[in-house]
């Protein structure tokens, strides 16, 4: 009986992230528009976009191979799994232990791997430019992310997100320099990973400096829809990740109790809203940087991650 | 019966020399030459079966038994090789038939001299024998009568004569050292007597004697910086003689040196011969290794490789101890077999390509696969790569030395490595790549080449226990 | 008696060293050959004296060989070769006469140090002889390496051999084998040198070793 | 047990001997490779039984060969059984592949005799139980592979590669020789049994450690001893490249483990620092080099260097924990290392096979001349893609699992009491993370440029799918990559005996855990379930596909590529390998490669092409190899003058030697 409950809970989590993801993006867009004193698109515009795209036929480049058609589904599947493994309103879900934080990052890596390949598949220069920049950014973002994981794991003694979030919620954690550095680094990585300003600009399709959008330039119809959805999911994933690690309030351990659900969900909604507001403000305030400034930006994250790890030893000794 | 075998080893070549000098026609003499060498070899083997008693002049013990069998064996295979080699030389008119008669007689004289040097129980007799061997080879090196050959022979002769003189001086000094103990006369030069009384000899006199013997016989061994004759003599003489020089004569000279080393080792107050030998060995090894890089003549290159290996062997004996001595003996044997095999291959190669210039010899494994691969195998063996015999001896030398003298072993190892680099640098173009230039048809005798390589191969994996125990006895003797 | 024996042997061996020095000093070819003849003569005397002292008659043979062969035949032969081949009469030296003499002094000192120190209990007669013969050997070598002319190198080599003979005869009771071999080697040496000189003559019209050196293996 | 293994090795050697006279005939290829396949499969079984069966009791055998009075000793214990398994797995796959691939061999007589001998050499290294047999086999392996490297000897580059390879191999062997010399002592106790029973003192052990790193590292490709590897591995025929990269480097690692973990006694803490630093540097440098190459096989060779770095890092970690007595964590790190060894042998062989298939189909190794092969060689492309994913450490494949285990071990470094280790290990972890990310970039590039896009040359457009044998071999390896990725627990448990043997501890049993997860330490700490991840991927991907196709649209229309306005359709406008690597070169290249970009722009209105040249210089070659080679040349040049002296000068040398020795005598006493 309990197993079914756990299954259900896991299902709820999966559907929740899937449904919330476009909303989050819509919210960020809305906020940004408002900050620019524009009306902006409706909050639910991403849903409409997705549905419209899905209904359209796919125009496939003559040269595209099976890999090109396979990639959207793969990217969507991996991103969705990754996103549903991050504790949102409740931790310790049934399958939460099937991948820890490192595996989660690697799952996203798998998705990126295919996306970059798809960028090369048609054999255009835009696809190539996007892919090559994407992997360059990833090659810096991933180690930075792993250093952050190290820092956290050294403090928590685990890479299991449920355990981590529970620990961070406990008074044992205290206030540490390492955590601060880790947070900053994580934010930088999240910005880079989600192709946000100042690393990339998600709003443009035709700019020479673009990365992610150049890579998926050849996609259309339902394929594009899946890729867009995956991007929404990824944003949600990172926001949830930051939330569950650095703002773990309200996330309860596994219980099938409606009261904790409500608290958890409410807290989650608040956290999402707060962070997307912050993201929108940040994106409005800074300018996009040149592509070759990005390594420095990410290098800073990597260094902070490493520094945090090392500082952890210093602060950990008392 | 007993003494017959011992005498036969000396008498057969001497007799054959006389006969060969008288007979015309190279076909017949070449065959007789092979036959005589074979008989000598069989006689030498019989020494193992029935050990003759040693007399005042001749001696058979563990040390020289090994050498004598090796020498007669290589002499035999070389004579087989020589038959086909000289045949070709006459065909192309490089040698006159009259010279060939002389050549075969000289070959047997050389065999006689080397066997005598090995069997002599008298240090004076040994000296005489080595000098005969030297002079014979001088004549044979100059046999082509080209500028280069004469020059090489002249150089060999002058440097050899000085060596002769120095070795004689050393021999006299040994006699002087022995005289007060043993008494005047013959017995002060008889090896078996000397060994018994060595501990009571005047150590300082022995020291000076050893310096002279080291330099005198060391010239024959080809130790740097006394080596200068060696590359040219190898390069300009007929290839069978190069094979005999590298494979045998160097060993015989080294054998003489070892005899005196034993003597010195038995005298506690004398200077340790080890450090001197180690130094000269290392210098030779490293120096020759570097010299390999700039060689343009294929035979000269392998001559330098002989210097390198002599260096390793002298180093091993200089280090002493059962393991290193054993390794030195093994290395000597393996080097003889391998180097003569290489010269067999090189001789035919030079004939096939009509040149000894490395630049003109390319892609042999394509144009003449058997010779080419034979050479590759030979070089692999001589570079000390397993599973061939030299690897085993180098393994023992380097590893046993490293525990005692790390720096020396390191230098030696580097020398070996540098030599390997030099050899393979040339082998790359000689054996591989696109073949260029004309290739004459071959009627090479592959049997000696591959017989040697087969022995070396087997020895790299398995050594017969009798050989091992023999070597170990000798190694103990060498201290 | 002992004193006289010693003194005469000493005197003869000493004069051998002295003559070696004169060889080293000499820079004219004919004069050098003459001095070498003197060298051989003194050697013959010395060997004869040893034969007398040691009551070893066979040594007289050695003395005779030295006298006839080295003091007479070979110098004459060399004279003729020089005339026939038209070799330069001046000897080209590598280091000046002065430094060569100094070096020679050093070598003699070295051989004294080495020899006198080591044979303390040995027969003093033999000891002196050894010291002197080592000097002669070294001086002979020095002559070989400081002269550019083949004839003088040959002479250097022969003085070296003279030193050996001196040593061999001084070693009391050394078997006949040695004397024969010394003579033998000199003989062989000359036969071979003769052959070579002949061939070299045939081809290069000179025995100057430098001419030969031009044809050195790898400089093509 | 070793008897059976040895007789199988004997069959291989016999096959080599048979191949010499018959290699010209048509039957020789299937015969030789068939024998190799059969024997390696048998040996695999032997190894597997030794690994699963009675792991605690090593069985040994002595033959009256080898060093006199010592004999040749052989032994199968848990360690050698594991490596025997890995070696034979790779060899079996390569043999199967070669049955088809060898058809294109131009000079079979230069491959067939050496191939079985090479296999035999590798197996003997693993079986050896005394220093002599070990080194004979070790160098024999080098020698036969050298012969295979120069099989195509008419290209002078191959000869040069072979030359450098042989030199480096001999260098390594000499270093090992010295190491064994120290271990055996002056008395020459060369059997491993004796060496094991008497570990050396700390100072000697330190020296041996350095020598062992040099000796085995030069074979495995540790930076800076790697220079030969990217030259030699690609030069050989592809199935041999696969063996060299996938298997022989593992044999080198075996040598390292054998000496350092087993013979040197308890490790000192700083050993691990040396190994970790070497490993971390190797991993990063290797992958950076790989990203700059345009030769497909060379990319793979450099990636081998990277993986060797990862393996050595894991071994270093294990040493660190072992030196502090933390056996269970040491076991975790060692398991990671061993598992990665196994994994790398799978996917690297697979990738080399793929590159061989490409080479056969197109005659090209240069990625800039390939492209679009996914259309003409779909099956090869698919398996190659699996290999690329596996080597990029992407879940759910096997490469990820071993790296994940390594990271888990790194995360336990706070338990080490030593500050230096505490600080170094996370830094090495960062390097590993960096190299993992760069490896993904590298293989996106390798696969993308080679198989995707459009054909860049006519040769590439004419490619055809490779033969069935090759495909079978690759499919098996790809399947194994997947199986090892989704069921890692099984493999980890199989490694337990070996790990226990080496560090005296093991990871907790994994096969009993529900849902087949792996849990290195405790469930609350970390866990990973490849099977579930894989199933979730399939289910959610399929669900999405079905749902969309049913509910929304499933129409497809083919049209020209958009690319922001239908540009020039020439294949040359595609992104090339060089341009793909450009961002990373810009980021790392200035330091590591001293990259210089020189752009030449034609004057305005000129129609001449603009030109961009990139100069890369190899830092390590310039720092280490060029001076050595220059020094040898210089010394050879100087000493060579001694060949041209006059006789008088030679006499002077003799004279000088004489005077010198007499002076020594005069002064001595």
DSSP string across D139-172: HHHHHHHHHHHTSSTTSHHHHHHHHHHHHHHHHH
Cα-based distances in Å from D581 to A124, B235, D393, D448, D577: 16, 54, 20, 12, 6
Touch between D and C (at least 3 CB pairs under 8 Å): yes
The DSSP letter of residue C89 is S
Angle, CA of C11, C14 and C15, to the nearest 5°: 85
Distance separating alpha carbons of residues A152 and A156, to the nearest angstrom: 6
Q: Tell me whether residue B11 is in a domain.
A: no
Whether residue B162 and residue D171 make contact (CB cut-off 8 A), yes or no, is no
Mean pLDDT of D387-394: 94
Q: Is the distance from CB of B233 to CB of B153 less than 8 angstroms?
A: yes
Spatial separation of the C-alpha atoms in residues B9 and A184, rounded to whole Å = 92
Give me the pLDDT at residue C216, please: 45
Residue D179 has pLDDT above 70, yes or no: yes
Query: What DSSP string runs through C199-211?
Result: HHHHHHS---HHH
The subunits that touch chain A, with at least 3 C-beta pairs less than 8 Å apart, are D
- Select the residue of C122, C172, C192 nearest B135 (Cβ to Cβ): C192
- Residue C123 pLDDT: 64
Residue of chain A minimizing CA distance to D582? A132
Distance CA A22, CA A35 (A): 20
Cα-to-chain-centroid distance, residue C3: 27
pLDDT value of position B457: 92
CB D662 within 8 A of CB B215: no
Nearest in space to A285 (alpha carbons), one of A196, A211, A190, A210 = A196
Lookup: tokens for B231: 């590359």
D28 burial via Cβ count (<10 Å: 0-12, 13-18, 19+): buried
Which residues neighbour C114 within 8 Å (Cβ) at sequence distance 6 or greater? B208, C134, D662, D665, D666
Alpha-carbon gap: D638 to the closest alpha carbon of chain C (Å): 15
3-class DSSP state of D72: strand
DSSP state of D558: E
Pairing of strands D596-600, D59-63: unpaired
Residues from C in contact with D at Cβ < 8 Å: 94, 107, 110-111, 113-114, 117, 138, 141-142, 144-145, 147-148, 153, 209-210, 212-213, 216-219
Which residues of chain B register pLDDT less than 50?
1-2
> Can you give the pLDDT at residue C208?
46
Provide the shortest C-alpha distance from residue D634 to chain C (in Å).
19
Question: How close does chain B come to C132, measured CA to CA in Å?
Answer: 13
Tokens matching residue D310: 């990862």
A-chain residues near D381 (CB < 8 A): 65
Interface test with A, best of D412, D534, D535, D544 (most A CBs within 10 A): D544
Min Cα–Cα distance to chain B from D328, Å: 35
Phi and psi based region of residue A4 (left: phi greater than 0; alpha: psi -120 to 50; beta: remaining): alpha
Inter-helix orientation angle B147-182/D647-667, to 10°? 20
pLDDT in tens, D518-564: 888 887 788 898 999 999 999 999 999 999 998 888 888 888 888 77
Separation CA B471–CA D222 (nearest Å): 41
pLDDT at D667: 84
Nearest to C110 among D649, D659, D669 (CB): D659
| Contacts of C among chains (3+ CB pairs under 8 A) | B, D
Residue B204 in contact with partner chain C when CB distance is under 8 A: yes
Phi, psi of A59 (to 5 degrees): -100, 115
Contact by Cβ (8 Å): D350, D470: no
Question: Given phi > 0 = left and psi -120 to 50 = alpha, else beta, which region is D519?
Answer: beta
Query: CB contact, 8 Å: D642 with chain C?
Result: no
Would the pLDDT of D323 be above 70? yes
Q: Alpha-carbon torsion B53, B54, B56, B57, what sign?
A: positive
Looking at chain B, which residue has its C-alpha nearest residue D656?
B225
Residue A230: the pLDDT is 94
B45 part of contact set with chain D, CB < 8 Å: no
* Whether B300 contacts chain C with CB within 8 A: yes
* Cis ω before A171 (30° cut-off from 0): no
Contact: D440, A112; criterion CB under 8 Å:
yes
Q: Burial-class residue B77 by CB neighbours within 10 Å (0-12, 13-18, 19+).
A: buried
Chain A neighbors of D371, CB-CB under 8 A: 123
- Cα(C49)–Cα(A88) distance, integer angstroms: 120
Partner D, chain B 264-323, Cβ-Cβ below 8 Å: 271, 276, 287, 290-294, 321, 323
- The residue segments making up the domain with residue B316 are 272-479
Residues D455, D574: Cα–Cα separation, whole Å: 10
Per residue of chain A (318 residues), give pLDDT as tens. Answer: 567 877 888 888 889 999 999 999 999 999 999 998 988 889 999 999 999 999 888 999 888 999 999 999 999 999 999 998 888 887 777 777 788 899 999 999 999 999 999 999 988 888 888 899 999 999 889 889 988 988 888 888 888 888 888 888 887 777 678 888 889 999 999 999 888 888 887 776 655 557 888 888 889 989 999 999 999 999 999 999 999 888 888 887 666 677 878 888 888 999 999 999 999 999 888 888 887 788 888 888 988 888 888 787 766 543
* Strand D59-63, strand D72-76: pairing: antiparallel
Burial D567-579 (b: 16+ CB within 10 A, else e): eeeebeebbbbbb
Report d(CA B69, CA A132) in Å as an integer: 72
Length of chain B: 479
How many structural domains comprise chain B? 1
Closest approach of D178 to chain B, Cα-based (Å): 5
Distance CA D349, CA D362 (A): 20
Q: Which residue of C has its CA nearest to D645?
A: C213
Q: Kindly list the residues from chain D whose CB atom is less than 8 angstroms away from the CB atom of residue B432.
A: 150, 153-154, 159
- With beta carbons less than 8 A apart as the criterion, state whether B5 and B52 touch: yes
Residues with Cβ within 8 Å of residue D7, at least 6 apart in sequence = none
The per-residue pLDDT for A22 is 94
| Touching chains B and D? (3+ Cβ pairs < 8 A) | yes
Instruction: With CB atoms and an 8 Å threshold, state whether B124 touches C181.
Output: yes
Residue B159: per-residue pLDDT? 86
Q: Does B185 contact C at CB distance below 8 Å?
A: yes
The percentage of residues in chain C with a pLDDT greater than 70, rounded to a whole number, is 72
Q: Are D648 and C148 within 8 A, CB to CB?
A: yes
Q: Any idea where the domains of chain D sit in the sequence?
A: 1-197, 623-667
Q: Is D518 strand, coil or helix?
A: strand
Q: Do the Cβ atoms of B176 and C171 come within 8 Å?
A: yes
From the list A150, A187, A152, the residue with the least C-alpha distance to A300 is: A187
> In this predicted structure, what is the pLDDT of residue A316?
54
- Per residue in D649-665, pLDDT (tens digit) is 888 999 999 999 999 88
Do B63 and B251 contact (CB within 8 A), yes or no? no
Of D445, D537, D562, the CB nearest to A217: D562
Cross-chain Cβ contact A127/D529 below 8 Å = no
- Tell me, what's the pLDDT at C189? 61
From C189's Cα to the closest Cα of chain B, the distance in A is 8
Compute the distance between CA of residue C170 and CA of residue C49 in angstroms, rounded to an integer. 10
Q: What is the pLDDT of residue D317?
A: 93
**D518 beta partners:** D528
pTM tops 0.95 = no
Task: State the smallest CA–CA distance between residue B473 and chain D in angstroms.
Answer: 13
Domain boundaries, chain A: 2-316
Cα C26 to Cα C22: distance, rounded to the nearest angstrom: 6
**Can you tell me the distance from the alpha carbon of A305 to that of A182, in angstroms, rounded to the nearest whole number?**
6
B470/D73 Cα distance (integer angstroms): 23
DSSP, collapsed to helix, strand or coil, labels residue B267 as coil
Distances (CA, A) of C90 to B176, C32, C104, C139, D311: 41, 10, 21, 20, 77
Percent of chain D with pLDDT over 70: 99
C-alpha B302, offset from chain centre = 13
Check if B418 contacts D (Cβ < 8 Å).
yes
Contact D406, D338 (CB under 8 A): no
For residue A60, give the nearest of D374, D427, D557 by CB distance.
D557
Distance CA(B89)–CA(B443), nearest Å, equals: 12
- Enumerate the residues of chain C whose CB falls inside 8 A of the CB of residue B183: 173
Measured between beta carbons, the chain D residues lying within 8 angstroms of A80 are 540, 544
């Amino acid at each position: 009986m309990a197993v079914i409950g756990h299954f259900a809970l896991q299902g709820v989590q999966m559907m929740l992230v899937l449904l919330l993801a476009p909303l989050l993006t819509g919210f960020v867009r809305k906020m940004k528009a408002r900050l620019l004193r524009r009306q902006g698109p409706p909050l639910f515009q991403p849903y409409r976009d997705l549905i419209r795209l899905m209904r359209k036929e796919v125009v496939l480049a003559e040269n595209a191979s099976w890999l090109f058609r396979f990639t959207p589904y793969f990217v969507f599947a991996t991103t969705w799994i990754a996103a549903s493994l991050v504790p949102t309103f409740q931790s310790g879900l049934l399958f939460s232990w099937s991948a820890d934080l490192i595996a989660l990052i690697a799952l996203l890596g798998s998705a990126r791997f295919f996306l970059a390949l798809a960028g090369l598949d048609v054999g255009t220069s835009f696809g190539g430019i996007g892919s090559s920049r994407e992997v360059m950014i990833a090659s810096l973002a991933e180690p930075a992310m792993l250093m952050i994981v190290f820092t956290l794991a050294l403090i928590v003694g685990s890479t299991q997100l449920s355990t981590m979030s529970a620990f961070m919620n406990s008074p044992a954690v205290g206030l540490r320099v390492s955590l601060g550095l880790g947070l900053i680094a994580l934010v930088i990585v999240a910005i880079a990973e989600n192709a946000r300003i100042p690393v990339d600009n998600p709003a443009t399709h035709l700019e020479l400096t673009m990365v992610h959008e150049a890579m998926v330039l050849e996609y259309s119809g339902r394929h594009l829809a899946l890729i867009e959805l995956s991007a929404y999911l990824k944003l949600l994933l990172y926001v949830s990740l930051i939330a569950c690690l650095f703002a773990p309030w309200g996330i309860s351990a596994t219980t099938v109790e409606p009261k904790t659900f409500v608290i958890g969900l409410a807290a989650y909604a608040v956290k999402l809203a707060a962070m997307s507001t912050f993201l929108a403000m940040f994106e409005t305030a800074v300018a996009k940087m040149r592509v070759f400034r990005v390594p420095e930006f990410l290098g800073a994250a990597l260094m902070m991650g490493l520094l945090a790890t090392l500082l952890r030893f210093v602060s950990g000794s008392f | 019966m007993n003494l017959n075998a011992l005498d036969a080893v000396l008498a057969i070549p001497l007799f054959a020399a006389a006969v060969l000098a008288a007979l015309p026609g190279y076909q017949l003499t070449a065959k007789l030459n092979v036959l005589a060498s074979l008989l000598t070899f069989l006689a030498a083997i019989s020494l193992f079966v029935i050990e003759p008693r040693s007399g005042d002049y001749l001696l058979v013990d563990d040390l020289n038994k090994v050498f004598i069998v090796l020498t007669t064996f290589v002499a035999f295979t070389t004579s087989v090789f020589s038959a086909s080699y000289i045949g070709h030389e006459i065909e192309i008119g490089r040698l006159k038939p009259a010279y060939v008669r002389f050549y075969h007689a000289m070959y047997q004289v050389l065999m006689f001299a080397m066997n005598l040097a090995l069997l002599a129980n008298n240090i004076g007799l040994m000296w005489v024998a080595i000098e005969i061997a030297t002079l014979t080879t001088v004549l044979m090196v100059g046999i082509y009568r080209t500028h280069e050959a004469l020059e090489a022979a002249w150089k060999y002769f002058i440097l050899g004569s000085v060596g002769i003189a120095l070795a004689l001086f050393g021999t006299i000094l040994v006699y002087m050292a022995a005289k007060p103990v043993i008494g005047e006369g013959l017995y002060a030069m008889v090896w078996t007597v000397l060994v018994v009384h060595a501990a009571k000899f005047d150590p300082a006199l022995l020291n000076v004697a050893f310096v002279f013997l080291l330099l005198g016989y060391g010239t024959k061994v080809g130790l740097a910086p006394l080596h200068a004759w060696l590359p040219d003599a190898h390069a300009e003489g007929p290839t069978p003689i190069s094979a005999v020089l590298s494979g045998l004569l160097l060993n015989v000279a080294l054998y003489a040196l070892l005899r005196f080393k034993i003597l010195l080792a038995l005298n506690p107050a004398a200077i340790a011969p080890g450090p001197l030998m180690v130094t000269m060995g290392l210098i030779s090894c490293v120096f020759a290794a570097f010299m390999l890089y700039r060689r343009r003549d294929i035979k000269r290159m392998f001559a330098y490789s002989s210097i390198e290996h002599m260096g390793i062997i002298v180093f091993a004996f200089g280090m002493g101890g059962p393991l290193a001595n054993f390794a030195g003996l093994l290395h000597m044997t393996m080097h003889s077999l391998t180097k003569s095999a290489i010269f067999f291959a090189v001789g035919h190669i030079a004939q096939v390509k009509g040149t000894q210039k490395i630049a003109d010899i390319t892609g042999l494994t394509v144009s003449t696969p058997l010779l080419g691969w034979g050479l590759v195998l030979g070089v692999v063996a001589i570079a000390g790569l397993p599973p061939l015999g030299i690897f085993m001896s180098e393994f023992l030398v380097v590893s046993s030395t490293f525990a005692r003298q790390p720096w020396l072993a390191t230098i030696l190892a580097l020398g070996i490595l540098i030599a390997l680099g030099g050899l393979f640098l040339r082998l790359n173009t000689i054996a591989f790549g696109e073949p260029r230039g004309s290739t004459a048809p071959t009627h090479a005798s592959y049997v000696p080449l591959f017989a040697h390589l087969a022995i070396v191969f087997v020895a790299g994996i398995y050594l017969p226990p009798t050989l091992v125990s023999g070597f170990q006895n000798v190694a103990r003797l060498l201290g | 008696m002992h004193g006289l024996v010693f003194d005469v042997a000493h005197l003869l061996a000493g004069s051998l060293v002295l003559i070696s020095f004169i060889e080293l000093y000499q820079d004219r070819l004919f004069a050098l050959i003459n001095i070498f003849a003197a060298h051989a003569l003194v050697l013959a005397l010395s060997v004869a004296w040893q034969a007398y002292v040691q009551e070893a008659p066979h040594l007289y043979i050695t003395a005779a060989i030295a006298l006839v062969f080295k003091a007479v035949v070979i110098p004459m032969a060399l004279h003729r070769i020089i005339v026939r081949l038209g070799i330069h009469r001046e000897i080209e030296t590598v280091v000046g006469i002065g430094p060569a003499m100094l070096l020679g002094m050093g070598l003699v000192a070295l051989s004294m140090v080495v020899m006198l120190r080591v044979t303390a209990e040995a027969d003093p007669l033999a000891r002196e002889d050894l010291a002197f013969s080592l000097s002669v050997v070294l001086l002979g070598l020095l002559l070989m390496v400081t002269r550019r002319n083949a004839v003088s190198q040959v002479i250097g080599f022969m003085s070296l051999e003279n030193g050996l003979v001196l040593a061999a005869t001084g070693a009391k009771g050394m078997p006949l084998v040695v004397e024969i071999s010394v003579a033998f080697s000199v003989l062989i040496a000359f036969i071979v040198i003769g052959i070579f000189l002949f061939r070299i003559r045939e081809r290069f019209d000179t025995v100057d070793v430098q001419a030969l050196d031009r044809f050195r293996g790898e400089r093509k | 047990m070793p008897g059976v293994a040895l007789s199988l090795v004997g069959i291989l050697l016999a096959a080599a001997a048979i191949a010499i006279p018959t290699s010209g005939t048509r039957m020789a290829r299937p015969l030789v490779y068939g024998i190799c396949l059969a024997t390696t499969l048998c040996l695999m079984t032997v190894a597997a039984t030794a690994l699963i069966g009675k792991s605690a009791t090593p069985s040994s055998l002595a033959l009256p060969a080898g060093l006199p009075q010592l004999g040749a000793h052989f032994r199968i214990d848990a360690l050698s059984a594991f490596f025997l398994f890995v070696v034979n797995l790779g060899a079996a796959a390569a043999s199967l592949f070669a049955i088809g691939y060898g058809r294109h061999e131009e000079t079979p007589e230069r491959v067939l005799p050496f191939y079985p001998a090479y296999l035999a050499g590798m197996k003997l290294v693993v079986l050896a139980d005394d220093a002599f047999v070990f080194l004979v086999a070790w160098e024999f392996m080098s020698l036969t592979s050298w012969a295979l490297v120069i099989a195509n000897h008419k290209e002078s580059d191959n000869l040069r590669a072979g030359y450098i390879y042989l030199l480096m191999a001999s260098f390594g062997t000499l270093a090992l020789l010295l190491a064994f010399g120290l271990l055996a002592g002056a008395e020459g106790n060369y059997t491993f049994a004796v060496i094991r029973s008497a570990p050396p003192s700390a100072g000697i052990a330190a020296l041996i450690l350095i020598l062992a790193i040099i000796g085995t590292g030069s074979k495995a490709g540790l930076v800076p001893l790697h220079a030969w590897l990217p030259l030699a591995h690609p030069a050989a025929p592809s199935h041999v490249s696969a063996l060299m990269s996938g298997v022989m480097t593992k044999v080198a690692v075996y040598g390292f483990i054998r000496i350092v973990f087993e013979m040197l006694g308890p490790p000192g803490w700083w050993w691990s620092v040396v190994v970790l630093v070497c490993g971390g540097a190797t991993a990063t440098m290797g992958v950076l080099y790989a990203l700059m190459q345009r030769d497909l096989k060379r990319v793979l060779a450099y990636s081998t260097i990277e993986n060797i770095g990862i393996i050595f890092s894991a071994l270093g970690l294990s040493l660190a924990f072992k030196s502090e007595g933390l056996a269970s964590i040491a076991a975790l790190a060692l398991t990671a290392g061993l598992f990665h060894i196994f994994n790398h042998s799978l996917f690297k062989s697979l990738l080399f096979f793929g590159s061989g298939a490409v080479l056969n189909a197109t005659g090209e190794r240069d990625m800039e001349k390939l492209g679009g092969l996914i259309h003409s060689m779909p099956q090869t492309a698919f398996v190659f893609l699996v290999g690329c994913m596996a080597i990029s450490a992407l879940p759910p494949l096997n490469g990820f699992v071993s790296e994940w285990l390594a990271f888990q071990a790194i995360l336990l470094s706070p338990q080490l009491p030593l500050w230096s280790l505490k600080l170094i290990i996370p830094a090495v972890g960062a390097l590993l993370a960096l190299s993992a990310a760069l490896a993904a970039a590298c293989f996106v590039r390798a696969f993308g440029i080679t198989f995707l896009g459009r054909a860049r040359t006519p040769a590439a457009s004419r490619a055809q799918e490779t033969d069935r044998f090759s495909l079978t071999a690759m499919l098996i390896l790809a399947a194994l990559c997947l199986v090892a990725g989704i069921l890692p627990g099984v493999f980890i448990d199989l490694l337990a005996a070996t790990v226990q043997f080496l560090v005296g501890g093991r990871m907790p049993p994994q096969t009993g855990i529900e849902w087949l997860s792996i849990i290195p330490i405790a469930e609350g700490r970390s866990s990973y379930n490849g099977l579930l991840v894989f199933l979730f991927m399939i289910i959610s991907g399929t669900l999405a596909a079905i749902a969309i196709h049913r509910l929304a649209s499933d129409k497809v229309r083919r049209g020209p590529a958009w690319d922001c306005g239908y540009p020039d359709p020439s294949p040359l406008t595609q992104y090339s390998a060089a341009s793909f690597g450009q961002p990373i070169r810009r980021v790392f290249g200035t330091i590591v490669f001293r990259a210089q970009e020189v752009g030449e722009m034609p004057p305005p209105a000129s129609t001449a092409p603009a030109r961009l040249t990139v100069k890369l210089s190899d830092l390590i070659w310039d720092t280490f190899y060029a001076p050595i080679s220059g020094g040898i040349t210089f010394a050879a040049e100087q000493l060579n003058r001694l060949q041209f002296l006059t006789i008088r000068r030679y006499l002077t040398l003799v004279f000088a030697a004489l005077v010198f020795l007499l002076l020594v005598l005069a002064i001595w006493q």
